[in-house]
Amino acid sequence: MHIDVVLHPAEIATILPARNLSKTVCVVFDVLRATSSMVTALAHGATEIYPVRTIEEAHGLKVRMPSAVLGGERQGDIIPGFAVGNSPLEYREHVRGRQIITTTTNGTIALRAVERAHRVLVGAVLNIGAVAEVLRATWPEQVLIVCAGTFSDFALEDACAAGLLIGYLGAESLSDSAHAALAITQLYSEPLSALRASRNGRVLMGTDRTADVEWCAQLSRYPVVGEMQSAVVRALTP
């Protein structure tokens, strides 16, 4: 297994479109908070999650799927007219048996950027052990970990999650960016320290969303892994 990591959102826009991912398994992290919300929703019984790029696309899909839950954020806040925002705490109730349409600033963009990959897995600190189990079971030749970032900036929490996953896997071949992610993880005693230190974490804590940060930092709380196929995320069946 060779592991590479996209650490910066600029790479998602400029490099990934031209990259051949047909033999690559991608794992996407947007720890604060999009992929953590998706994992939480799947763990609480959501049947399908539709990550879309724009608000307009979300509204258009809602017309065709009127019973679906509209969720997402811009600038970290709930989108006007949407049922829920981007807090994982909102996805613990009223999602069982439901479809969710979601759009976020970075996370859904990152997921759709790798939809041509051989496989796309939704990762978070919340399910990192389960993601590692899936990868160990299949041991793909190429793994690309995509850190969604914050707006157009590097996100510490995503890089830390990437490093945690690499540490779980113990792969024999790492790119320089994968080595960097692993080194970042080793700077922190546990995930919560990294999330609290990150720009996103500080912003969330400064706007009375400390509970979100603490929730997203729980290591391997859920055994569920989301896999995106044809732009729809579903929980992998055992």
Residue carrying the six token digits 């690559």: 24
Q: Strand 142-147 and strand 77-78: pairing?
A: unpaired
Is 238 within the bounds of a domain? Answer: no
With contact defined as beta carbons under 8 Å apart, do 122 and 225 qualify?
yes
Question: What number of CA atoms fall less than 13 Å from residue 88's CA on the CB side?
Answer: 29
Is 235 within the bounds of a domain? Answer: no
**pLDDT tops 90 at residue 97:** yes
State the pLDDT at residue 111: 98
State the pLDDT at residue 171: 74
Percent of the chain with pLDDT over 90: 96
Is 208 within the bounds of a domain? Answer: yes
| Res. 218 pLDDT band, cuts 50 70 90 | very high
The DSSP line for 42-98 is HHTT--EEEE-SSHHHHHHHHHH-TTSEEEEEETTEEPTT-SB-S-GGGGSSS-TT-
Which residues is 50 bridged to in the sheet? 101
Q: Strand 119-123 and strand 24-29: pairing?
A: parallel
Structural tokens at position 33: 């908070």
| Res. 8 pLDDT band, cuts 50 70 90 | very high
Structural tokens at position 154: 């590097």
State the pLDDT at residue 40: 98
State the pLDDT at residue 232: 98
Q: Which residues constitute the domain of residue 146?
A: 2-227
What's the chain's average pLDDT? 96
Is 59 within the bounds of a domain? Answer: yes
- The stretch 46-67 carries a mean pLDDT of 98
pLDDT in tens, 101-125: 999 999 999 999 999 999 999 999 9
With contact defined as beta carbons under 8 Å apart, do 37 and 88 qualify?
yes
Percent of the chain with pLDDT over 70: 100
Is 237 within the bounds of a domain? Answer: no
Residue 180's CATH number: 3.90.1560.10
Any idea of the CA torsion for 187, 137, 112, 162, to the nearest 10 degrees?
A: 0
Residue 135 three-state SS: helix
User: Cα–Cα distance between 144 and 155 in angstroms, integer?
Assistant: 17
- The stretch 158-175 carries a mean pLDDT of 94
State the pLDDT at residue 170: 87
State the pLDDT at residue 225: 98
Is 217 within the bounds of a domain? Answer: yes
Is 233 within the bounds of a domain? Answer: no
Element containing residue 182 per DSSP (H, E): helix 176-185
- The stretch 2-28 carries a mean pLDDT of 95
User: Cα–Cα distance between 182 and 161 in angstroms, integer?
Assistant: 9
State the pLDDT at residue 238: 59
Is 232 within the bounds of a domain? Answer: no
- The stretch 18-44 carries a mean pLDDT of 97
Using a 10 angstrom Cβ sphere, with 0-12 exposed, 13-18 middle and 19 or more buried, the burial of residue 154 is middle
User: What's the structural domain count of the chain?
Assistant: 1
User: Cα–Cα distance between 183 and 192 in angstroms, integer?
Assistant: 17
pTM: 0.97
